[in-house]
Amino acid sequence: MTIEILIVDDNADIRNILNEMIIDAGYKTRLAANYDQALTEINNKIPDVAIFDVKLDKGDNDGIKLLSYIKSKNKEVPVIIISGHANIEMAIKSLKHGAFEFVEKPFDQARLLNFISRAVENLNLKMQNKEYESKLFFSYDLIGDSKNILNIKDQIKKISLTESRVLINGPSGSGKELIARKIHKNSKRNSNPFIIINGALLDSNKYELELFGEEKENGSISYGALEKANKGTLLIDQVSEIPLNIQSKILRVLTDQKFKRLNGNKDINVDVRLICSSSKDLKNEIEFGNFREDLFHRLSVFEINIKPLNERVSDIPLLIKYFSKKICESYNIKELNVDENDTYILNHNWQGNVRELRNLVERVAILQPETKEKISNIVKESLKSDNFNDKITENSLSVPLKEAREKFEKEYLTIQLKKFNGNISKTATFVGMERSALHRKLKGLGIKEFN
């Protein structure tokens, strides 16, 4: 990629010297002779690096104004400020506004080229980080063939084509953030920011600052999540934890489509798609007085409900295969041979849901056991405290044999039905029963069949 540098200076001689010097160094240039030309160039296309003279045709601080303007467009652009009227106050001011470097005139060409080289290096590093983050962003997929997951995948396709606000409900670790990322990825906003704030992790005194940003006394601006997500998507995770006074301000933003920064007087208009997620039932939170009903209706234009992992057991073998492949690729080790039908795994309660399952697979990968037996031992040790078989044994010891057998059969067949996603034929084949006999058994045990 050829780096493009915007040079803004009202002195034609200096402009030409900079132009020739930078082209000789292997960069592409664009030139502007005054403030208005500079604005036009910036609005036409954001440069990779910029060099601004402080004093142009409209005032002593034109370069500082241009610096603030270009940073409002893209804060990652390295800007070098040059000035023939340099002083410490001016240097500090430019650096506070986000300048990469401040250079006095007459400037040493080698020194300036060194600053440009460092700016380009800084830019390349940020681009590499963004590329790495992008790979992480899209690194995991929504895996499963349960009716719940298939339905959610269909919902994502439909919702992504709209601008509707979305509320994602589900227990911790079930994949709510992943669903939000998939909606953003498949939407028209996918080339713009995806910003996350977590209502449960924010300092109670910093909600407004994190959401709306702040205008500081020195003139600098701290941008909040709403501005950072402009033209993109904002995910408010654990929205149930946002205090009521902040909920009212979020409601006002959704109503008015604008807000003011802290200590600011100017209305800020933003175009943001809002997605929220919650592990709590917001309808219950409304009843308890912890959540505003009017905000709930604004946020839940479309609701997605993801079930806990122990209610979609048929997804577990697919998730194990998927995580094994992904994690082994990441650690550059041979693929794991975890038994997807291990009863310790299928019968575990999975309070941490998909995240807990992924952690288990990663633990096995890190320990790199050599045999299936060693893998099985790691799984048993990891899940021992909440193992289904342990519960069955404990419960069975305190009841007569017939009742113990019925309890075991009921739990066993319920789990097998979940494992095969309610498919009676597959369940009957696995447990070694005729289809009609299984129907009778399920009815006799009071197990409700599902499709």
In this structure, the number of other CB atoms found within 10 A of the CB of residue 389 comes to 12
Residue 28 resides in a domain? yes
Task: State the pLDDT at residue 371.
Answer: 81
Name the residue range of residue 406's domain: 390-445
Q: Do 155 and 242 share a structural domain?
A: yes
Q: Do 354 and 402 share a structural domain?
A: no
Residue 21 resides in a domain? yes
Q: Do 189 and 65 share a structural domain?
A: no
Q: Are 185 and 139 in contact (CB under 8 A)?
A: no
pLDDT in tens, 256-272: 888 999 988 889 988 99
pLDDT in tens, 284-328: 999 999 999 999 999 999 999 999 998 999 999 999 999 888 888
Domain boundary among 340, 366, 384: 384
Task: State the pLDDT at residue 434.
Answer: 82
Residue 324 resides in a domain? yes
Instruction: Return the DSSP state at 234.
Output: E
How far, CA to CA in Å, does 24 sit from each of 29, 103, 106, 113?
Answer: 11, 20, 20, 11
Distance CA 208, CA 225 (A): 10
Residue 39 resides in a domain? yes
Q: Do 303 and 315 share a structural domain?
A: no
Residue 139 resides in a domain? no
Q: Do 176 and 238 share a structural domain?
A: yes
Task: State the pLDDT at residue 186.
Answer: 93
- Residue 338 belongs to domain with CATH number: 1.10.8.60
How far, CA to CA in Å, does 59 sit from each of 35, 65, 126?
Answer: 9, 10, 33
Beta pairing class for 49-53 and 79-83: parallel
Spatial CA neighbour of 8 closest among 221, 40, 89, 24 = 40
- Residue 101 belongs to domain with CATH number: 3.40.50.2300
Residue 140 resides in a domain? no
Q: Do 24 and 130 share a structural domain?
A: yes
Task: State the pLDDT at residue 402.
Answer: 65
Q: Do 282 and 211 share a structural domain?
A: yes
Distance CA 169, CA 259 (A): 27
Q: Do 283 and 172 share a structural domain?
A: yes
- Residue 406 belongs to domain with CATH number: 1.10.10.60
Which residues have a Cβ under 8 Å from the Cβ of 142 and sit 6 or more positions away? Answer: 149, 152, 153, 156, 175, 178, 179, 182
Task: State the pLDDT at residue 216.
Answer: 78
Which residues have a Cβ under 8 Å from the Cβ of 103 and sit 6 or more positions away? Answer: 80, 81, 82, 83, 111, 112, 115
Task: State the pLDDT at residue 392.
Answer: 45
Q: Do 319 and 293 share a structural domain?
A: no
Q: Do 372 and 302 share a structural domain?
A: no
- Residue 273 belongs to domain with CATH number: 3.40.50.300
Task: State the pLDDT at residue 394.
Answer: 44
pLDDT in tens, 361-387: 888 887 877 788 888 888 888 787 544
Q: In total, how many domains does the chain have?
A: 4
Task: State the pLDDT at residue 17.
Answer: 93
Q: Are 213 and 227 in contact (CB under 8 A)?
A: yes
Q: Do 283 and 155 share a structural domain?
A: yes
Domain boundary among 105, 134, 163: 134
Task: State the pLDDT at residue 390.
Answer: 44
Domain boundary among 360, 384, 408: 384
Residue 93 resides in a domain? yes
Task: Give pLDDT < 70 ranges for the chain.
Answer: 1, 58-61, 86-87, 128-139, 218-220, 340, 385-405, 450-451
Task: State the pLDDT at residue 169.
Answer: 97
Residue 451 resides in a domain? no
Which residues have a Cβ under 8 Å from the Cβ of 84 and sit 6 or more positions away? Answer: 53, 55, 104, 105, 106
Beta pairing class for 221-222 and 233-237: unpaired
Q: Do 106 and 22 share a structural domain?
A: yes
